[in-house]
Amino acid sequence: MSLPPLTMIVAATRANGIGLSRTNALPWRLPKEMAYFARVTTAAPEGKINAVVMGRNTWESIPERFRPLKGRWNVVLSSREMPQLADIPNAIHLASLSDLVLNHPSQPLHRIFIIGGASLYKSVASHPSLNRLLITRILSPAYEDCDVSFPSILDSSPPISTEHEIVKKNFASDGGQAKEEGKRWSLASHDELQTWVGAEVPVGVQEEKGTTYEFQMWVCK
């Protein structure tokens, strides 16, 4: 039994800022952007469920009233014990992503979303099954106080869609032989994003409470 491919979802500034370590929180509050996150990570065909995979800090950053994220299988990765997760329905604690194959949600799995934070994004960045990145690019303000970052998977992605490829060099250990693999990321069209999400997604630069951002999907071939 193999797993579906992995999709990362993140909201990040142009400088890849995603959070504030002091408060373990997002630097912004964008209700419509958060609604997009909830909609995209929840959407699954009848009878199936998506997994939202997160690290311990991210689990702890979610307000208690929203935990576990409803309608999704909540997978919390941590090397620590997390006894508080044992009694929560639709939530599971695992030591590593590879343990996912040994465990099952209440319904068959549809998609797997990696929802952060920085340390999990970093460890999944070179995973061979990672083939999609849903990034909400926060354009302004710069949120320069961010001190938690998304790894530079895409280098610098342009704010507005221009087809643009990035070669990512992976060094994977293969039978003791270092093997080099090129991963080409390209910005999908807005139509492709909507088709994948299965719903309309606002196009172009969005504005909420003085913050501007854009929804993007990057795919890896």
Candidates 6, 11, 49, 146: give the one binding ligand FOL (CB under 6 A). Answer: 11
Beta bridge pairs of residue 18: none
- The tokens of 151 are what? 């790894």
Choice between 38 and 139, CB closer to ligand FOL: 38
> Which residues participate in catalysis according to the annotation?
26, 33
Candidates 24, 66, 84, 202: give the one binding ligand FOL (CB under 6 A). Answer: 66
34 binds ligand FOL (CB under 6 A): yes
69 binds ligand FOL (CB under 6 A): yes
136 binds ligand FOL (CB under 6 A): yes
Q: Distance (Å, rounded) from C-alpha 138 to C-alpha 163?
A: 19
33 binds ligand FOL (CB under 6 A): yes
13 binds ligand FOL (CB under 6 A): no
- The tokens of 61 are what? 């950053």
Q: Which residues contact 57 (CB under 8 A, 6 or more apart)?
A: 24, 117, 119
Q: Distance (Å, rounded) from C-alpha 40 to C-alpha 120?
A: 20
Cα angle for residues 88, 92, 94 (degrees, 5° grid): 150
Q: Distance (Å, rounded) from C-alpha 97 to C-alpha 87?
A: 21
Q: Which residues contact 128 (CB under 8 A, 6 or more apart)?
A: 172, 181
Binding mask 153-192 for ligand FOL (x = CB under 6 A): ----------------------------------------
58 binds ligand FOL (CB under 6 A): yes
Q: How far is the CB of 76 from ligand FOL (least distance, A)?
A: 12
214 binds ligand FOL (CB under 6 A): no
Other CB atoms within 10 A of residue 27 CB? 20
Cβ-contact 112, 77 below 8 angstroms: no
Among 31-39, 93-101, 124-132, 142-150, the segment contacting ligand FOL (CB under 6 A): 31-39
Nearest to 6 by CA among 71, 91, 98: 98
Number of residues that bind ligand FOL (CB under 6 A): 19
Candidates 7, 13, 17, 37: give the one binding ligand FOL (CB under 6 A). Answer: 37
Binding residues for ligand FOL, per CB under 6 A? 9-11, 26, 33-35, 37-38, 58, 61-63, 66, 69-70, 115-116, 136
